[in-house]
Each structure stands twice: as C-alpha cells, then as structure tokens.
Structure 1
Amino acid sequence: MATPQHYIWAGGHFILLLSALRYILAWVTFKAASPWWYKASYTGALVSYAIVCQKSLGVPQPNLAWAQRALADENVQYFLLAFFWWSSKPVAMSLLPYTIFSLFHALTFTRTTLMPQFLPPGPPATAGGAPTPPPLAKKLQAWVKANYDPAMKVVAYTELVILVRVILGALVLRNSFVTPIAYAHFVRMRYFQSAFTKEAAHRVTYAIDGYVNKPDTPPAVKQGWVTFQGLVGRWTGTSLPARTAPAAGANAAAR
C-alpha cells in the first residue's frame, strides 16, 4: 500500500515531467516560455529528491561524518544541483536529465501503484494462484526494462553537453561564471560514481583524440588538447584515457 509520502514523491515527479515538457517544447520550437514552468519543474524535483534523501539518510545530523555521507549520495547531489538550477538563470537544457529520470519514475509509479487500482488483474500464472498484474502493466514493465540503460546513456552524454553549454554561456554572458564551475564539480562526481558517465567521457575523449591526432591538425591544437587533458587530470586526480585502445575499451573501463 503506497504511503502519503510515496504519493507526494510521485507528485513531484509528475509536476517535474509535465512542467519540463511544456518548457522544453517551447524551447525547441523557439517560442517564449514562461520561467514559471522552469521554476515549477525544479520545484517538483526538489520535493521528490528531498523525500528520497530523507529516506536514505534520515534526519540531518550536525557532524562531519553525516555531511560526508550525504555529499557522496547521488540523490543529494541531484537535489543540490536542482536547487542551484532553481535559483539560477534558466538553462533549458539542464531540464533534460531530470525529465528523463522523472519519466521512468512516473511510469514505474503508474505501473506499480495506479494501474492495479484501475485495471483488472491478469489471469493467475497457475491454477488457483494469485492474479497477475494487469497485462498493460507487464508491457510497461518490459518497456522500462528495455529502455532504462539506453536512457541513462543519453543522460550521461547530455550532462557533458550541458557542461559545454554553460562554459560557452559564461563566455558570452548568458549565465554566470559560477555555473560552469559548480556544474563541472558535479560532472566530476558523476564521473567517479556513474559507469554511464565514465563511458560517455571516455568515448568523447577517444573521438576528440581521433580528430586531434590527424596529420593535418595544427600543432597548436594538439598541444592545447594535451594541456587540457593534463589540467583535467590534475583536477580530477585521474587521467583521461589516451587514444591507445578501441572505443570498446571504454566499455570495459566503465564496467
């Protein structure tokens, strides 16, 4: 039986999903979108992620150990990032990862909580056994299972694109210079915690290496890329993979 807290969590995701789709639709069609939809999207995110963080971490404790555990939690990271986006100048692209997450959460809540209340159950799997979930719920479960990993890969690449977007945005004064710094730190944490992000970073690195190492590439570009890799390596405490293995090697490294 779903608890009121579970319904509030799901409500946050539905608010995020519907508001974000409204804002993103206006963005991709080059129409003016009310900032209200942007704020509503991240308000839904804050509600949902606050509940998840409270359930996983409990009541906040005024000590270093709790703070370290909280900051290492990916739900806390996405909660803090949602608050940052909520309080900053809108960056429409930033909604895409949250929208994808909310889509899967909303579909799962619909399958496990809403459908059994409104749809007739399926026939028992065995004679005299308990009824099975509604057939539509089974189809929805299969779709979610088949598409979850591809969607998480899309999220990983999208987050890298957002990083480029906010860096360029800072240079042309479309967002603050704090934004790329804060977001780069977030991506750094995702690199160490998410196999999808690590794989995406490796594949992008291999692709750039392949372009930079062409014979006709200017030496300045090659040196700039080497310098950039060195800076990123010192900042992250690791080295970006060199172009010494096929792209499949990135999959192995990510796993």
Structure 2
Amino acid sequence: MAPPPSYQHYVWASGHFLLLLSSLRYVLAFVTFKAASAWWYKASYTGALVSYAIVCNKSLGTPQPNIAYLRRAMLDENVQYLLLALFWWTSKPITITLLPYMIFSLFHALTFTRTTLISQFLPPSPPATAGGAPGPHPLAKKLQVWVKANYDPAMKIVAYTELVIFARVILGAITFRNSLLSPIIYAHFLRQRYYQSAFTREALALATKKIDAIVRKPGNPPILLNVWDKGQMVIQRWAGVTLAPNATVPEPAQTAN
C-alpha cells in the first residue's frame, strides 16, 4: 500500500489548482475583451511559485551556499520554470505567458485528482477476480487514459507557445510594451529548454525551416537573407554549439509526494 500523501503534496496540488483556476479567469477575460484585474494574473503566478518551490526543495534539498548546489539548481528545469514564474510575477502582465503554466497545471491537477481525490471520495471498482484487489474507480481510469493520450500533444503546444512568447516579448521590447530585459531572460530560458526538451527542439527546427523558406523566396532583398544568415550564426555561437544536441532528454514529470 502506498504511503498517504504528505501535507506538502496537498500544498503543491493547491498551488496548481490556484494557478489553473486563476489563469483561466484571466485568459477568458482577455479573449472575450473584458477587463480582468491583475490580481488574477498575480494569483496565477503565486500558485506557480508555491508548487514549483515545493518540487525544487524536494528534488534539490535545502539550498546550499556553494557552487555545486547552484550548478545543479540551474540545470533543473523546475528551477528554471520557478525563476521564470518569479520574473513574470514581478513584471507587467503578458497574458500569453500563462499558457504553458496552465497546461502543466492541468495535467498535474488531473493526476492529483485521479491518484488522491478520487481514491478518497469515490469507491473503488469491484475486484476483477474473486479474492483479488479492488480496481480504481472508472473515472480514475478515464482520467489516466486521457492524460496518457494527450500528454505529448500538450507538450508540443507548450513548445510552440514558448516560441510565440519569445516573439511577443521581442516585439514588446521594440514597442516598449514590456521591459528590454524580458527577451534577454526569455532567450536564456529557451536556450535551456532546447537542450532539455525534445519538443522544444522539434518546434524550433520547424519554425526555423518555415522562416528560412520565407526569407529565401526569389525576389526578396539580398540584405534580408544576409541578416537572417548572420542572425543564425550569432545564435549558434551564443548557444555554444551548432544547435544539434547529441542526445534526446525526456520531459521529467513534476511531482511532490
């Protein structure tokens, strides 16, 4: 029998539910052209900070004032999302930045509902065989199937959304709608995502291919192609390699038991 969830597990889940519900309220108001208080935006990222802080503490332990701990922390993708959430929490609201966190929280909230809430409040299914152990409630089975079937497509959406966010903060910096620091910080975040996420690599490869096809169309000014080629060269040098990783790193699941 699995041990009962700790109080941290409930706090972690509460953060995800807060994030999911608050961001839904804020995003729905945005897409329906209605006014929404920035409180909902702050509440969304407060939920993210709570959940990611618990996971980071669980995976990395108590923060240590040494280089080894700092290096481990900077390579942890939950730490990266925690720091990014802190940056968005302190910045002027940008609605689209909520979408990746919403998607992550949806899957975590559904998994928590399946593994913890349903088992506590709904009766299990009868044993499949005489004397066997009871099975999970049918609703739990349906949630498990849905999560498994939709996880990879959702992660692809996250990867493409994060590229759109990068374009948004670049344009925002040019038009003074967000700080000049935003694209710099987000560029570093995407650099880490590239090395850690196969979905991000796939999204970036497709986006690069699409842009390259547009830039190289006959009749375009030569300077456009020159800027594009030099831009890719600068990005490759800044990334440290030719953007061709040697191994695929799977997406780890964020949990807090």
TM interval, shorter chain, is over 0.9
Residues 205 and 240 in structure 1, CA contact (< 8 A), matched pair in contact too? no
Q: Cα deviation per residue 1:12-64 (whole Å; 9 max; x = unaligned)?
A: 00000000000001111122210000000000000000000010000001100
Selected match of 2:126 from 108, 113, 123: 123
Question: For the aligned residues, what is the CA RMSD?
Answer: 1.6
- The answer to whether structure 1 residue 91 and structure 2 residue 94 are counterparts is yes
- The answer to whether structure 1 residue 161 and structure 2 residue 164 are counterparts is yes
Equivalent residue number for residue 245 of structure 1: none
Equivalent residue number for residue 247 of structure 1: none
Structure 1: state its 5+ residue gaps: 242-249
User: Higher relative contact order at CA 8 Å, sep ≥6: structure 1 or structure 2?
Assistant: 2
Selected match of 2:62 from 56, 59, 62: 59
More displaced stretch, 16-25 vs 215-224:
215-224
Structure 2: state its 5+ residue gaps: 251-257
Equivalent residue number for residue 103 of structure 1: 106
Selected match of 1:220 from 220, 223, 227: 223
| Pairwise CA distance, 1:238 | 2.4
Q: Which amino acid aligns with 1:77?
A: Q
Equivalent residue number for residue 136 of structure 1: 139
Residues 17 and 103 in structure 1, CA contact (< 8 A), matched pair in contact too? yes
Equivalent residue number for residue 204 of structure 1: 207
| Pairwise CA distance, 1:124 | 1.4
* Rounded Cα–Cα distance in structure 2 between residues aligned with 1:163 and 1:77: 16
Selected match of 1:190 from 163, 172, 193: 193
* Rounded Cα–Cα distance in structure 1 between residues aligned with 2:95 and 2:110: 23
Residues 197 and 248 in structure 2, CA contact (< 8 A), matched pair in contact too? no
Residues 157 and 197 in structure 1, CA contact (< 8 A), matched pair in contact too? yes
Residues 45 and 82 in structure 1, CA contact (< 8 A), matched pair in contact too? yes
Residues 196 and 249 in structure 2, CA contact (< 8 A), matched pair in contact too? no
Selected match of 1:75 from 75, 78, 92: 78
- The answer to whether structure 1 residue 30 and structure 2 residue 42 are counterparts is no
| Pairwise CA distance, 1:213 | 2.0
* Rounded Cα–Cα distance in structure 1 between residues aligned with 2:201 and 2:129: 44
| Pairwise CA distance, 1:240 | 4.9
| Pairwise CA distance, 1:254 | 8.5
Q: Cα deviation per residue 1:217-245 (whole Å; 9 max; x = unaligned)?
A: 2212111110110111111112357xxxx
* Rounded Cα–Cα distance in structure 1 between residues aligned with 2:102 and 2:135: 30
How high is the TM-score relative to the length of structure 2? 0.92
